[in-house]
Copies of this chain bind each other. A is one copy, B any other.
């Protein structure tokens, strides 16, 4: 009964009348398992136990709401609830992304539902939109800001010229970021959510271990400003794209055109773009975390489950949008097989001919330069930054090019590389 558990209880209590008018019946919290009662909640006579399996094995209960998090006891709880023939609602992205295939198979065998809207982008009903609202479409790609902490950091860096480290420390003080920020800033949390979105979009099994994940820790305010000069903004995106060769599944900093709505999603807010062959581009925006926004999704799932308690299981919306026995074996591509455009920042010695060498290395690998900024003023260390945008190229060719660039005597230190997406 932590943040989301407390929020869920409070929303169910406060909006009980509204919810009953919608669902056609009341929804009662029959029992709570918690180590500590959430101090924001007035539990009244609701029974509380510290034994989570007392709830899971309670024969009076129809739906188990798992808000523990992680893959330890949460996984046991979910699998035992399914084994007991109970429906499950969960906000647990790590559990679904890593163990979802196993969990959904168990649920299908028992004829119960596992609902997980709250696991991606908090209160935004993005799973419902993808799985039902856009069910007529072949989904071509999904691109989202699906980690609020990372977006808060990037927004502050851009708007106030602050460094990554400075903003991260503030985010930790404000409670946006965990003491160990790895899951947020290295993109692991976003990769969990992207894994779920990609499966629902393309009808493929959950494959978290195939997702490419790159964090935002190496971004500098200089990169943020150069991106701006090119008419772009840097966002930490989760991107899933269907190509003829396979599915791309990647989380990394990305330059996107400054005029796109997604580029204007700031602070801790989340947003997901979905492109379908019939509908074109759509976008879904809202709070990606927090007690009540997440509770909004949890309670919506509870209402959905309540509505379909008596439905023939074969007529329900499948967990991953597609019938469980009709998932596709479309492979997830290694990142070397992904094609994108690139932003490159090089630190060059201020000598004649450097730019020609750089251009030659790129051109020999079929990489076309779209635009370039070469700073006229030498910096303190005697190095001149060269910043360029390329056309689209396979990642493996860009890796070759960067290795060749870094081997030049004229180039100091590593080449900064950020992928670029037009999202059109």
Interface residues of A in 229-263 (CB under 8 A from B): 259, 261
Q: A123-B280, A279-B297 are in contact. List 17 more A-B contacts (CB 8 A).
A: A7-B278, A15-B137, A22-B321, A123-B279, A125-B128, A125-B133, A133-B297, A135-B304, A136-B303, A271-B283, A276-B296, A278-B295, A278-B296, A279-B287, A280-B287, A281-B286, A307-B317
**A399 within 8 A of partner (CB):** no
Q: Mark A111-149, 1 if CB is under 8 A from B, else 0.
A: 000000100000111001100111111100000000000
Q: Mark A277-303, 1 if CB is under 8 A from B, else 0.
A: 111111111110000110111111001
**List of B residues within 8 angstroms of A15 by Cβ:** 136-138, 277-278
- Residue in A261, A299, A314, A323 with the greatest tally of chain B CB atoms within 10 Å: A261
Q: Give chain B nearest CB distance to A202 CB in angstroms.
A: 10
Contact between A311 and B321, CB atoms less than 8 A apart: no
Q: In this complex, what residue of B is CB-closest to A306?
A: B315
Interface residues of A in 307-346 (CB under 8 A from B): 307-312, 314-318, 321-323, 326
**List of B residues within 8 angstroms of A285 by Cβ:** 261, 282-285
Residue ranges of A at the interface with B (Cβ–Cβ < 8 Å): 7, 11-12, 14-15, 18-19, 21-24, 117, 123-125, 128-129, 132-138, 203, 259, 261, 264-265, 271, 276-287, 292-293, 295-300, 303-304, 307-312, 314-318, 321-323, 326
In the assembled complex, the Cα of A184 lies from the Cα of B238 at a distance in Å of 37
Q: In this complex, what residue of B is CB-closest to A274?
A: B286
**List of B residues within 8 angstroms of A311 by Cβ:** 308, 310-311, 315
In the assembled complex, the Cα of A137 lies from the Cα of B306 at a distance in Å of 16
In the assembled complex, the Cα of A292 lies from the Cα of B309 at a distance in Å of 34
Contact between B132 and A295, CB atoms less than 8 A apart: no
Contact between A125 and B136, CB atoms less than 8 A apart: no
> How many protomers of this protein does the assembly include?
2
Contact between A323 and B283, CB atoms less than 8 A apart: no
In the assembled complex, the Cα of A284 lies from the Cα of B121 at a distance in Å of 14
Contact between A22 and B322, CB atoms less than 8 A apart: yes
**List of B residues within 8 angstroms of A259 by Cβ:** 264
In the assembled complex, the Cα of A307 lies from the Cα of B307 at a distance in Å of 13
Q: Known contacts A137-B296, A283-B283: does B132 contact A129 (CB below 8 Å)?
A: no
Contact between A296 and B24, CB atoms less than 8 A apart: no
Contact between B286 and A136, CB atoms less than 8 A apart: no
- Residue in A281, A284, A298, A321 with the greatest tally of chain B CB atoms within 10 Å: A284
Q: In this complex, what residue of B is CB-closest to A276?
A: B296
Q: In this complex, what residue of B is CB-closest to A126?
A: B133
Q: In this complex, what residue of B is CB-closest to A130?
A: B125
Contact between A128 and B138, CB atoms less than 8 A apart: no
Contact between B18 and A300, CB atoms less than 8 A apart: no
Contact between B315 and A21, CB atoms less than 8 A apart: no
Contact between B282 and A282, CB atoms less than 8 A apart: no
Partner of A129, one of B129, B278, B315: B129
In the assembled complex, the Cα of A125 lies from the Cα of B125 at a distance in Å of 10
Closest 6 CB pairs of A and B: A125-B133, A136-B299, A282-B286, A123-B279, A279-B296, A283-B285
**List of B residues within 8 angstroms of A316 by Cβ:** 307
In the assembled complex, the Cα of A312 lies from the Cα of B24 at a distance in Å of 12
Contact between A279 and B292, CB atoms less than 8 A apart: yes
**List of B residues within 8 angstroms of A296 by Cβ:** 134, 136-137, 276, 278-279
